């Protein structure tokens, strides 16, 4: 028991690696168990957009959480590259949400009225002419836009890797294995069972298995339906200058990343655990 870590984390995506980073910084011993490799699923292939206003509706309790996350990102950017040796391309970038239908204009205007009072940054309304002046390449169907100056971006794979590298440098240990269940003692979780049958005990456990959490909740006897939502992204060599702002419209978005490519997304597909890029994804995003 003396060799047991304080905390076992299951899953090496951004959630598991961030947990490992903050726990090791606070002096806890950590073992992270990942069956594939760090950021080998959604965390390594996401868009990496940090937006405190996407999806925000009036009185949404997510806004304070988003603003706190934004502050943590700004703070991390000052030290995590040096702590990890990984430059993960964090940067602040203005975002412009676009509306193409009267209903979307109404929704955006409602969001604008609310954000004017609550957003701790610059938020501006742009009519059709000023949207096209800001970014002449947006399509003719765009009739309004909402600009916010406090968005940001990271390269998602490098960001997750940076969190893990810094945690590892501070003493965290990675086990490459699949967790298949848990053990219990006196009514509490006392260990996780690996595919080999080995049990790793710890003082506390963090399950950060992303869309596989449905399986993990079965181990705990909790009925919590969790299923994956597939999204695809295109990285394009696009002609012309980089986009000056990052753009979003309904559940789509586009931005020029530091790699010089135009990253565009996305699809929302209920197809189970299928991570294959498809012609459907390409054609949907291009249309």
Ligand X SMILES: Cc1cc2nc3c(=O)[nH]c(=O)nc-3n(C[C@H](O)[C@H](O)[C@H](O)COP(=O)(O)OP(=O)(O)OC[C@H]3O[C@@H](n4cnc5c(N)ncnc54)[C@H](O)[C@@H]3O)c2cc1C
- Among positions 33, 108, 161, 262, the unique one binding ligand X when judged by CB under 6 A: 33
Q: Which secondary structure element, helix H or strand E, spans residue 19, and what is its range?
A: helix 14-25
Cα–Cα distances (Å) from 92 to 4, 147, 148, 151, 159, in that order, read 41, 14, 11, 6, 15
Which tokens go with 199? 């049990």
How would DSSP label each residue in 239-250?
SSSPPSSEEEET
- Among positions 11, 52, 145, 191, the unique one binding ligand X when judged by CB under 6 A: 11
What is the chain's length? Answer: 287
Rank residues 69 and 143 by Cβ distance to ligand X and give the closer one: 69
Which residues contact residue 209 at a Cβ distance below 8 angstroms, ignoring those fewer than 6 apart? 10, 11, 179, 215, 216
- How many chain residues are in contact with ligand X, going by CB under 6 A? 30
- Among positions 9, 24, 34, 162, the unique one binding ligand X when judged by CB under 6 A: 34
CA triplet 271, 272, 273: central angle to 5 degrees? 120
Chain CA centroid to CA 70, Å: 12
Q: Quick check: 49 binds ligand X (CB under 6 A)?
A: yes
Residue in the structure block whose two tokens are 């790793």: 200
Quote the least distance from Cβ 56 to ligand X, whole Å.
14
Shortest Cβ contact with ligand X: which residue?
A: 13
Q: Quick check: 198 binds ligand X (CB under 6 A)?
A: no
Q: Quick check: 16 binds ligand X (CB under 6 A)?
A: yes
For residues 69 and 26, what is the distance between their CA atoms, to the nearest angstrom?
A: 18
- Among positions 81, 121, 181, 231, the unique one binding ligand X when judged by CB under 6 A: 231
Q: Quick check: 32 binds ligand X (CB under 6 A)?
A: no
Show the binding pattern over residues 151-190: x = contacts ligand X (CB under 6 A), - = does not.
---------------------------xx-----------
Show the binding pattern over residues 83-102: x = contacts ligand X (CB under 6 A), - = does not.
--------------------
Contact set with ligand X (CB under 6 A): 10-16, 33-36, 40-43, 46-49, 178-179, 208-212, 231, 233, 265-266
């Amino acid at each position: 028991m003396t060799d047991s870590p304080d905390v076992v984390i299951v899953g090496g995506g951004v959630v598991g690696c961030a947990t490992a980073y903050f726990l090791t910084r606070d002096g806890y011993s950590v073992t992270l168990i990942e069956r594939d490799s760090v950021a080998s699923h959604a965390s390594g292939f996401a868009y990496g957009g940090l937006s405190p206003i996407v999806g925000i509706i009036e009185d949404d309790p997510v806004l304070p959480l988003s603003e706190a996350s934004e502050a943590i990102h700004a703070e991390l950017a000052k030290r995590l590259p040096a702590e990890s040796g990984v430059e993960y391309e964090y940067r602040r970038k203005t975002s412009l949400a676009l509306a193409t239908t009267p209903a979307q204009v109404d929704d955006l205007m409602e969001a604008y009225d609310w954000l004017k009072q609550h957003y701790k940054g610059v938020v501006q309304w742009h009519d059709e002419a000023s949207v096209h002046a800001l970014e002449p390449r947006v399509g003719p169907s765009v009739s309004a836009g909402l600009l916010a100056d406090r968005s940001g971006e990271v390269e998602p794979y490098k960001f997750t890797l940076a969190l893990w590298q810094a945690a590892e440098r501070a003493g965290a240990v990675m086990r490459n294995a699949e967790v298949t269940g848990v053990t219990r003692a006196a009514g509490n979780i006392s260990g996780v069972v690996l595919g080999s049958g080995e049990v790793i005990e710890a003082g506390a456990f963090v399950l950060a298995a992303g869309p596989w959490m449905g399986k993990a909740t079965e181990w705990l006897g909790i009925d919590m339906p969790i299923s994956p939502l597939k999204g695809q992204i295109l990285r394009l060599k696009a002609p012309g200058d980089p986009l000056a702002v990052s753009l979003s419209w309904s559940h789509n978005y586009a931005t020029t990343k530091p790699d010089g490519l135009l990253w565009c997304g996305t699809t929302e597909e209920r197809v189970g655990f299928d991570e294959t890029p498809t012609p459907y994804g390409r054609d949907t995003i291009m249309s």
